[in-house]
Amino acid sequence: AQSVSQHNHHVILSEAASLELGCNYSYGGTVNLFWYVQYPGQHLQLLLKYFSGDPLVKGIKGFEAEFIKSKFSFNLRKPSVQWSDTAEYFCAVSPPNTGNQFYFGTGTSLTVIP
């Protein structure tokens, strides 16, 4: 069965610290990969996505993610976090040709301390 694992449940960082959130998936074929962000009290918004091509993708607000096929990973990174990055972050996988299935990880709560 398809699954998405986010190993960090809660992360607390000081402003300007670097961020890396882990995401691993279990699917042997080609997948589309996403990171969504949910700010407090708001809905999920797309941060970035990977379909094919350059495995290092850049998203909004200085976020980037690297697809490493051999590790089944799609980790999210940001060199220097800000207080406004405090939010819940969700990794999602959508295998092609599966009738629009989307699988979300359990989310990682990020708190940035000013």
Partner 1 sequence: DAGVIQSPRHEVTEMGQEVTLRCKPISGHNSLFWYRQTMMRGLELLIYFNNNVPIDDSGMPEDRFSAKMPNASFSTLKIQPSEPRDSAVYFCASKADSPLHFGNGTRLTVT
Q: Applying CB under 8 A, which part among 17-25, 65-73, 78-86, 101-109 lies near partner 1?
A: 101-109
Q: Applying CB under 8 A, which part among 10-18, 19-27, 54-62, 103-111 lies near partner 1?
A: 103-111
Which listed residue (19, 92, 93, 110) binds partner 1 by CB under 8 A? 92
Strands 108-113 and 10-14: parallel
Shortest approach of partner 1 to residue 101 CB, angstroms? 7
Tell me the residue type at 74.
Answer: F
Instruction: Please give, one letter per residue, the 3-state secondary structure of 20-38.
Output: EECCEECCCCCCEEEEEEE
